[in-house]
Chains A and B, each alone.
Chain A
Amino acid sequence: MIIHRIVPALVLILWGYLPLVGSPICVEDVHDDDGSALIVSWEPPGDIPDFFMYKIYRKDAPDAEYVQIGKSSDISNTVFVDCDPRAPLNAGMTVFYRIVAVDENENELLEIGFSEEFSPSYSFFNSTKKNTIIAVAIVFIALLVFLNIAKKGKSLFIRKIAGLDALDEAVGRATEMGRSVLYVPGLSSMSDIATVASINILGPVAKKVAEYETKILVPNRDPIVYTITHEVVKEAYLEAGRPDAFQEDQVFFVSESQFAFVAAVNGIMMREKPATNLFLGMFWAESLLLAETGNATGAVQIAGTDSVTQLPFFVTSCDYTLIGEELYAASAYLSRDPVLVGTIKAQDVEKAMILILLVLLSILAVLNFNFIKSELMSRVIMSIFGS
């Protein structure tokens, strides 16, 4: 009886004399992170006159001073995520929180409360990326299976891509007209996979240009991309047995400024009038500026990008457009290397699996199966199609 009733009552009375009066503050760890964020929540206080906002304080050691790390001017919001890099949290450190209600002049009105000590922790695996790891694993397994099939010499079918079929014709046209081929490898950096895909196409195109004894112009916006495209074109001329035909100023750096680059390339199109323009890679607002200028000069234009927002512009202004994944399939299509074609088949397998799943789940949803709405099912769907 003494332990269960009187001791808690005494504690509560003593607690009342301390300035710590108020609702307890709850601190929770943010899952799947490196220990750099915590969620602080508290009970809202009752009616307080002139109450304007909360101030959130934190101290990083038991004997340290509290430092303000944030504020919340929405008094109905009693949750604060502490992840400000100016006052970083690290896994293992001990922190204490204090919340204060203040008026418009930032005078403290009421101590909402203090938290217990808490230590943020890190995770070894980010569970929100389960869907990605499943997709990568399936592509990887399919890749190995089709590589084995390709190595055994079995022929693999790859559908016709009109834009890539037209490459030969476009380069041939430039040769007949005695004009150059303009190749823009996008405006992004090498960290963009579309740029890598574009460079994979540049090699075979430059080789063909070298064989046809015509000229290729490759303007670049990124200096790292410039050094790589320079090497790729130079090697392509060497492979074609025409190292003497390669001129250093065929591949050049223009400017890092987006519209300065566009102005320069449009100038090249208007002055040199290339017979063929190839825009392959990542493009932003400049896509239509480039493609419409090329259209005005009468060049054959082949574009390809994985930027969904720019695709309509290219479709409108270019003769052929490689849509999304066709850009990635281009190197396999052009080389017809069985190993590379095998990798396209691996993509197709995963695409077929997604298609089957989508159709199946759509049918079940239409038929109003109850289990499709269950929590377990939505977790499965979320882990496959995104978090």
Chain B
Amino acid sequence: MFLKRTLPLLVVFLLGLAMIIQFFIPHPVSQTFYDSMAEWVRISGAFALVLGLASFFYVHTRKIARKNKDSFYSGVAIFCLLGMAGVGIFGRGGTNGWLFSNLYRSINVSLDSTMFSLLSFYIASAAFKSFKARNAMAFALLVTAIIVMLGRVSFGSFLDGVVEWILVYPNTAAQRGITIGIGLGSIATSLKIILGIERAYLGGGD
């Protein structure tokens, strides 16, 4: 119990307290402490990546072994991961070589761009769904959205003043309300974790 519960809580308490103090002190010793902590996070991340990759292989090999109808895609995922790693490690020039760069630019970047460009279609469908005047509030949203959208195109420049007002006052006021809540929520959650009141992240509730 000590190793599983008490020790982690003690480490969280001491490091949490140290990081709070560090946040307010710009002394070089405090900065060095922060930098070394950031390095430790990166080191832990490197070890966790090994566990992540183990999980990746476990999940996909299990799917292949079960002869799942979509196991072909698991095969493709494993092939791509090993292929890219192989080219990066054993290929001429490593990760700076032409093959690795071309594979990255022509496949990975293109696929990423495709996924991102899909977003514009989803925004259109989401806008269609949200701009329905079901009640008074939805109607107010619809009218406001139309004014803002019109004001943003060239022939709607006469609406510039109204658009500016909507964005600077009602919109900012709503966003600030949410942001204040988020700030207080973050502080309270952090204190709860440091004081050991919130420990669900350790697994289990006790």
Partner of B25, one of A124, A147, A346: A124
Distance, CA A239 to CA B203, complexed state (A): 10
Q: Once the chains bind, are A140 and B48 in contact (CB under 8 Å)?
A: no
Name the prevailing secondary structure of the A interface residues. helix
Q: Chain A CB within 10 Å — which of B28, B41, B188 has the most?
A: B188
Distance, CA A327 to CA B129, complexed state (A): 25
Distance, CA A139 to CA B189, complexed state (A): 10
Q: Count contacts on A: residues with CB < 8 A to the other chain.
A: 89
Q: Count contacts on B: residues with CB < 8 A to the other chain.
A: 64
Chain A residues whose C-beta falls within 8 Å of the C-beta of B185 in the assembled complex: 197, 306, 324-325, 327-329, 347
Chain A residues whose C-beta falls within 8 Å of the C-beta of B195 in the assembled complex: 143
Report if B23 contacts A (CB, 8 A): yes
Report if A248 contacts B (CB, 8 A): yes
Chain B residues whose C-beta falls within 8 Å of the C-beta of A271 in the assembled complex: 70
Chain A residues whose C-beta falls within 8 Å of the C-beta of B126 in the assembled complex: 288, 292, 313, 316-317
Distance, CA A35 to CA B180, complexed state (A): 32
Please provide the chain B residues from 174 to 202 with a CB less than 8 Å away from any CB of chain A in the complex. 175, 178-193, 195, 197-198, 200-202
Nearest CB on A from B40, distance (A): 12
Name the prevailing secondary structure of the B interface residues. helix
Chain A residues whose C-beta falls within 8 Å of the C-beta of B70 in the assembled complex: 271
Minimum CB distance partner of A122 in chain B: B27
Give 1 or 0 for each of A227-270: 1 = CB within 8 Å of chain B CB: 11011101110110000000011011111011110110001000
Q: Chain A CB within 10 Å — which of B112, B123, B126 has the most?
A: B126
Chain A residues whose C-beta falls within 8 Å of the C-beta of B186 in the assembled complex: 193, 306, 328
Distance, CA A39 to CA B200, complexed state (A): 48
- 27 A–B contacts, CB within 8 A, in A order: A34-B28, A135-B184, A143-B195, A193-B186, A196-B189, A199-B201, A203-B204, A220-B52, A223-B49, A232-B200, A232-B203, A249-B62, A252-B56, A259-B112, A259-B115, A262-B115, A289-B118, A289-B122, A308-B178, A308-B182, A317-B129, A327-B185, A328-B188, A343-B188, A343-B197, A344-B188, A350-B184
Q: A223-B51, A235-B203 are in contact. List 10 more A-B contacts (CB 8 A).
A: A122-B26, A140-B191, A228-B201, A231-B202, A231-B203, A260-B112, A306-B182, A308-B178, A328-B186, A347-B181
**Chain B residues near A (Cβ < 8 Å):** 20, 23-28, 30-31, 41, 44-45, 48-49, 51-53, 55-56, 58-59, 62, 70, 73, 108, 111-112, 115-116, 118-119, 122-123, 125-127, 129-130, 175, 178-193, 195, 197-198, 200-205
**Chain A residues near B (Cβ < 8 Å):** 32-35, 90-91, 122-126, 129, 132-133, 135-136, 139-140, 143, 147, 189, 191, 193, 196-197, 199-200, 202-204, 220, 222-224, 226-228, 230-232, 234-236, 238-239, 248-249, 251-255, 257-260, 262-263, 267, 271, 285, 288-289, 292, 306, 308, 311-313, 315-317, 323-325, 327-329, 331, 335, 339-340, 343-344, 346-347, 350-351, 354
